[in-house]
Amino acid sequence: VRDLPHHLIASFRATLEEATHADLLLVVLDVSDPNAELHFDTVMSTLDELVAESRDASAKLKASYIDPKRLVLLNKADKLRDNSELLYWQSRVRGEHGAGGAIAISARDLEHQGHAELAHRVNQMTKGEIRERVFSLPISDAKSLDLIERRSEVLDREYTTERVTYTTRIGERQLRMLQSMGAAIVFADTPAPSSTSGM
């Protein structure tokens, strides 16, 4: 990691720049590697820098930016000498560099208990708390409407000439993402715009 050629470092950084716009980053760490500490610190500090740059760039454009959540996967946990090493990594990762914790996994063992926990945590972290919500948005906002139809459980929809009112089960993170994209969402407990007062 320390002696990489400059062009490889640039490629590594460019790949991670794309990652700063994700909802969730899975950082896979080989905890059986003697250099695991160095690998972890290098990747996480580089991510810290890139996330800060993305945050600053969004602020200059007056656009909203949500830091991607991070979940560290402690791969090859089955190769550790004893449980104390695993406990060390879980304790170290918790809260460090914005990480949302660590899960012990074994990529070769599909029956490893960490895989079920990983699926559950990914679902939980990318969607946020799922609640039933009632809200409306302009019928002309095709991008937001498509996202709602594909990524939520639509229970009901009502149309007027200008707006669609949804009753849906949707994650809080998905709603924040819609709002950061500029969706003009009006919740049922918020007064609707005057142009749609007859809705």
The pLDDT value given to residue 193: 46
Buried b (16+ CB within 10 A) or exposed e, 69-99: bbbbbbbbbeebeeeebbeebbeebeeebeb
The pLDDT value given to residue 154: 94
Per run of 10 residues, the mean pLDDT along the chain (length 199 residues) is 59 74 86 90 86 86 78 90 86 75 85 83 74 92 91 92 93 82 82 41
Predicted TM-score (pTM) of this structure:
0.63
The pLDDT value given to residue 194: 42
Q: Measure the CA–CA gap between 154 and 172, rounded to whole angstroms.
A: 15
Q: DSSP label at 193? A: P
Tokens standing for 126? 């990318």
CB distance 174 to 152 below 8 Å = yes
The pLDDT value given to residue 196: 39
Query: Judging by beta carbons within 10 Å of its beta carbon (0-12, 13-18, 19+), is residue 148 exposed, middle or buried?
Result: buried
CB distance 105 to 56 below 8 Å = no
Alpha-helix runs per DSSP H in 30-82: 36-60
Nearest to 50 by CA among 71, 65, 28, 30: 65
Q: Measure the CA–CA gap between 127 and 113, rounded to whole angstroms.
A: 22
The pLDDT value given to residue 145: 93
The pLDDT value given to residue 3: 57
The pLDDT value given to residue 162: 94
The pLDDT value given to residue 49: 87
CB distance 43 to 51 below 8 Å = no
Q: DSSP label at 1? A: -
Q: Measure the CA–CA gap between 139 and 159, rounded to whole angstroms.
A: 8
